[in-house]
Amino acid sequence: MSELKELFLDELADVLHAEGQLLKALPKMAKAANSPDLKNAFQSHLKETEDQVSRLKQVFAKFDKPAKAKKCDAMEGLLEEGKKVMDEWADSAALDAALIAAAQKVEHYEIATYGCLCTWGEMLDNPAALKLLRETMAEEEAADKKLTDLAEACVNEAAKDGSADTRGNRRQNTVRASSMRRAMA
C-alpha cells in the first residue's frame, strides 16, 4: 500500500472518531443555546453528522477496508473547550456567540480535514470515495456559513447589548413600533 493511501486511511479513521464525538456533543450544544435558530442549526447538523458517519463508512468500503475509528485528539480538545464555554457563559447573553465560536472552530477543523481527504482521494483515483467526501465537505462549509449568518444576523448583537434576545425580535419589534407610529399619525 502506498504511503499516501495509508495516510488517507489513517486520517479517515481519525475523522470517523471525530464525527462520533460530535454526535454526542451537538445535542448538548443545542440544549445550551438560547436562540431557537441556533438550537435548530445544531439539531440539523446532528442529522447531517449521522449521515456523514455513514458516508465515512462507505468510503472505507470503497478502499476495501473495515471502518475503524482512531481517537481524534484534536476534536476531543475542541469539544472540551466547547464544554468550558457552555459552563463559563451559561448565564450570559454572550452564550450563543460563544457557542457559535466553539462550533466554528469544529467546522474549520472538519473543513481542513475533509479538504485533505478530498485531495488525497482524487490522487488515489477513487471517484466514488471522492464524491462521498465532497458531499460531506459541502455540508461542513454550509454549516459554517449558517453559523456565521446567525452570528451576524442577531447573536453577536444580542451579546453586545447584553440581552437574551437572539432571534432578532428587538429589530422586528422596532420595525413594528415604527410602522404602528406611522399608521397612527
Helix (H) or strand (E) holding 122: helix 95-123
Q: How many domains does the chain have?
A: 1
State in Å, rounded, how far the first CA of the chain is from the last one: 79
Nearest alpha-carbon partner for 78 in 55, 108, 48:
108
Percentage of the residues of the chain whose pLDDT score is greater than 90: 83
Residue 185 pLDDT grade (very low, low, confident, very high; cuts 50, 70, 90): very low
Query: What is the reported pTM?
Result: 0.85
Does residue 62 surpass a pLDDT of 60?
Answer: yes
Does residue 4 surpass a pLDDT of 80?
Answer: yes
Check residue 93 and give its pLDDT.
Answer: 87
What's the Cα-to-Cα distance from 34 to each of 16, 55, 87, 160, 165, rounded to whole Å?
29, 31, 14, 15, 8
Does residue 181 surpass a pLDDT of 90?
Answer: no
User: What's the chain's average pLDDT?
Assistant: 89
CB atoms within 10 A of CB 27: 12
Are the C-beta atoms of residues 60 and 6 closer than 8 Å to each other?
no
Check residue 164 and give its pLDDT.
Answer: 58
Q: What is the pLDDT of residues 72-89, one digit of tens each?
A: 999 999 999 999 999 999
Q: What is the pLDDT of residues 79-122, one digit of tens each?
A: 999 999 999 999 898 999 999 999 999 999 999 999 999 999 99
Phi, psi of 148 (to 5 degrees): -60, -45
Q: What CATH number is associated with residue 114?
A: 1.20.1260.10
Which residue matches cell numbers 456567540?
97
Structural domain of 98: 3-184
Q: Across the chain, where does the E strand assignment appear?
A: none
Q: Between residues 168 and 99, which one has the greater pLDDT?
A: 99
Give the integer Cα–Cα distance in Å for 53 and 20. 7
